[in-house]
Structure 1
Amino acid sequence: MFKSLSLIVALIALCSFQGINAQKRVEHVILIGVDGLGAYAFKNVKTPNIRNLMKQGSWTMQARSVLPSSSAPNWASMVMGVGPELHGYTTWGSQKPDLPSRELDEYGMFPNIYGTLRKNKPKSEIGVVYEWDGIGYLFPKKAVNYEQNCEGDSITSLTTVDYIKNKKPNFLFVHFGEVDHVGHSIGHATIEYYQSVEKLDEYIGEIINSIKMAGIADKTVIIFTADHGGINKGHGGITMEEMQIPWIISGPSIKKNHEINTSIMTFDTAATIAKLLKLPQPHNWIGKPVYDAFSNAN
């Protein structure tokens, strides 16, 4: 009886140890953001690489953007852990806070994932690769090692692949913009819009392959999401086509083939990255880690 009890205790301890180790393996987080990608699109497109991320990870098609459902407010919220009421970016192309930020960090911006990582793990490799130049106003440039504004998604993908293979970043934000361009020029829910999403899927495959080639796949978590969706040729309103966005996470310590049922706001992304990289969450963030996605939620 005592031997059996000892064996059970040992097995419990081993499982707990393995669970802790699973999270310790996460050394790299790649955040892929797609401008204008409404969650509704996934009912009408063939996206094998993105769907494989879903199969190998956790996902929801019911995450929500903040209001207004426009670019700068949501890209800022995604990395700053709060909504526009606190970080202050309130319009589509805000280049600085339209409202005074509630607090400022050592870089003169609202506390964000870039500055938090730099402060707590100063040797980290941090990068930003982006297609829309407006992203350049939404991160502290002195906190990152590398930033590149690219012309078009194909160059964005090539630049990202090269950076991952050469530098193995601890945190990288990648922004793709052409889905949004098609939404504005031709329209959401059009054949051309869906074709742009399928083309995007090819770029996601290239990034996934680069992570494997860099030899860091077993230590990397990918988060795939968007800033907003759209309706007709615009966005910024309160329809579900504009508000609902995909949110997919895949990698070590993440549940596989799991649909997330808890509510997710875009500012929960920053808190989830902080948890993955074992960073203290700034006290003023209102975002919460998406615990339902973690295989070990402690």
Structure 2
Amino acid sequence: MKISNVLIILSLFIVSIKDSNAQRNKSLTKHVILIGSDGFGGYAFDKAKVPNLRKLMKNGAYSLEARSVLPSSSAVNWASMIMGSGPELHGYTEWGSKTPEVPSRVIGKGGIYPSIISLIDAQMPNAKKGVAYSWGGIQYLFERDMVDLDFNGKSDEETMNKALEFITKEKPVFTFIHFDQPDGAGHNIGHDTPEYYKEVEKIDDLVGTIVKALKKEGILDDTIIIFSSDHGGIDKGHGGKTLLEVEIPWIIYGKNIPAQGKLTTSIVTYDTASTIAYILGLEQPNFWRGVPVLDALNK
């Protein structure tokens, strides 16, 4: 083969790689909203009436067999969800961890293991982002000095209202909304009880309100919503290794998300951060361990 032909082929190969990278780094939407519901087990869909979530599932993609990391408790899993890694790397290992019990493998500019917040801050410096949460423990798991909204609501309704106010006014690239129920009902009365499912259905109502508000404001068509949880539960607790505690819902819906319904791929909660990074066209750090759920994004 002539040298000139080799050079032409090499040039085409390089261009192909560049085009592939450009396509991979292209944002799929203008806004991502992560909705997390504490203690919402995947099993809850068997008995609860959740029409709003089922609509997202039907018109998007979902798994009710996604898994939490171990232990199946709150701080360790909320950290994993937004930090793209498990507790062996970010270091939060207990239900109410405020600081890592295991030294974080990497410390970012925010003074903690880098989350999706710091990725957006570094790669999209002008982008608005916020966190609204009903459980105060969330405040220790993200870079508070990097967000435009840091709000701890007294109830899930107050948390939702503040988040919607922020979204409609500021049009943020990323918003994390954390709801404290149905975890409270699970602990106080018990999982798999009428009271627990009543709280599950209230969460479904809040999700429906969010979707309606986004549609009214003309934002929904440029938004991707991800709904998930930190863990399920059994009796009045969680933290163990049963599937009732470990299996969680993972639902994605919105712009550029094909209506595929049930996914068969394996999903772990730290894949959520990776999926958000991919959606926004961000470069994922090599110390994260999550992978984007591409089966949900491609036909």
- Matched with 1:136 is 139
CA RMSD of aligned residues (A): 1.5
Matched, 1:247 2:253: no
Matched, 1:175 2:181: no
Q: Is the 8 A contact 1:164 1:210 kept in 2?
A: no
User: Aligned partners of 1:44, 1:156: CA distance in 2, in Å?
Assistant: 26
- Cα deviation for residue 25 of structure 1 reads 4.7
User: Aligned partners of 1:214, 1:280: CA distance in 2, in Å?
Assistant: 30
Size of the aligned set, in residue pairs, is 277
| Regions of 4+ moved over 6 Å | none
- Cα deviation for residue 266 of structure 1 reads 0.1
User: More deviation in 283-292 or 202-211?
Assistant: 202-211
Matched, 1:91 2:66: no
User: Aligned partners of 2:79, 2:93: CA distance in 1, in Å?
Assistant: 9
- Matched with 2:274 is 271
Secondary structure of the residue aligned to 1:178 is: coil
Matches within 5 A, 1:132-171: 132-171=135-174
Q: Which residue, out of 279, 291, 294, partners 1:291?
A: 294
Q: Which residue, out of 12, 25, 38, partners 1:35?
A: 38
Structure 1 counterpart of 2:231, one-letter code: H
Secondary structure of the residue aligned to 1:148 is: strand
Matched, 1:50 2:63: no
Secondary structure of the residue aligned to 1:69 is: coil
Q: Which residue, out of 69, 87, 96, partners 2:72?
A: 69
Structure 1 counterpart of 2:105, one-letter code: R
User: Aligned partners of 1:96, 1:252: CA distance in 2, in Å?
Assistant: 36
Structure 2: stretches of 5+ with no match in the other structure: 1-22
Structure 1 counterpart of 2:169, one-letter code: N
Secondary structure of the residue aligned to 2:35 is: strand
- Matched with 1:191 is 194
Q: Is the 8 A contact 2:27 2:278 kept in 1?
A: no
User: Aligned partners of 1:259, 1:55: CA distance in 2, in Å?
Assistant: 8
Compared with structure 1, are the counterparts of its residues 256 and 77 closer, same or farther at alpha carbon in structure 2 (3 Å cutoff)?
same
Secondary structure of the residue aligned to 2:232 is: coil
Structure 2 counterpart of 1:199, one-letter code: K
User: Aligned partners of 2:259, 2:95: CA distance in 1, in Å?
Assistant: 35
- Cα deviation for residue 169 of structure 1 reads 1.4
User: More deviation in 152-161 or 38-47?
Assistant: 152-161
Deviation string 1:182-238 (CA, Å, 9 cap, x unpaired) is: 000000000000011111111101111121123221111000000000000000000
Secondary structure of the residue aligned to 2:182 is: helix
- Matched with 1:6 is none
User: Aligned partners of 1:127, 1:113: CA distance in 2, in Å?
Assistant: 11
- Cα deviation for residue 24 of structure 1 reads 4.2
- Matched with 1:12 is none
Structure 1: stretches of 5+ with no match in the other structure: 1-19
Q: Which residue, out of 207, 211, 218, partners 1:208?
A: 211
User: More deviation in 161-170 or 173-182?
Assistant: 161-170
Q: Is the 8 A contact 1:161 1:207 kept in 2?
A: yes
User: Aligned partners of 1:168, 1:210: CA distance in 2, in Å?
Assistant: 13
Structure 1 counterpart of 2:168, one-letter code: K
Q: Is the 8 A contact 1:152 1:178 kept in 2?
A: no
